[in-house]
Structure 1
C-alpha cells in the first residue's frame, strides 16, 4: 500500500481518470459499430464528419493512439464509399 499522502491522491486520480477514459473509449466503439451497421449512404455521409471529430479528439487526449484513429477513419471512409 502507498505510504505517502501524494501517492494516495495519485491512486484516487488514476481511478477517476481510468473510469473517464473507459467511458469515452466505449462510446467511441459503440459509435463505430453503429456507423458500420449503416446501409444508407446519405446517413453515413452526414454522420462521417462527427465520427472524424470524435476520433481526432480521443487521439488528441491519448485515449486512443493517433494511428488507431487514422486507421478507423480510413476504414470508415471505405465503408461509406462502398455503400
Structure 2
C-alpha cells in the first residue's frame, strides 16, 4: 500500500487509466473479430466494408493517441485491407 498521499493518487490514476486502455483495446478486438466473422459467414459486401471502415477508423485513432503502437496499427490495417480485398474479389 502507498504511504504518501501522492502515491495514493498515482495508484488511483493508474487504475483509471488502465481500465480505460483495456476497454479501448477490447473494443478494437471486437471490431476486428466482427470483420472476420462477417467474411467467414459470407455476409453482404456492403456490410463487410462498413465493418472494415469502422475498424480502420478505430485503429487510426488508437495509433495516433498511442494506445497501441502506430506501427502495430498500420500493420493491422494492412492485414485487414488484404483480407477484405480478397473477399471482395471472391464476391
TM-score by length of 2: 0.81
Deviations 1:50-71 (A, max 9, x none): 2111111111222211111111
Tell me, in whole angstroms, the C-alpha distance in 2 between the residues paired with 1:71 and 1:60: 14
The CA RMSD measured in Å over matched residues stands at: 1.3
**Equivalence for 2:38:** 38
Q: How many aligned residue pairs are there?
A: 83
- Which residues of structure 2 form unaligned runs of 5+? none
1:69 is the counterpart of 2:73: yes
Alpha carbons 2:28, 2:59 under 8 Å: kept: yes
Counterpart for residue 53 of structure 2: 49
Q: Which residue of 2 aligns with 1:60?
A: 64
Q: Secondary structure at the match of 2:60?
A: helix
In the alignment, the residues of structure 1 paired with residue 51 and residue 24 of structure 2 have an alpha-carbon distance, to the nearest angstrom, of: 18
TM-score (normalised: structure 1): 0.88
**Structure 1 unaligned regions, length at least 5:** none
CA contact (8 A) 2:31 2:54 kept: no
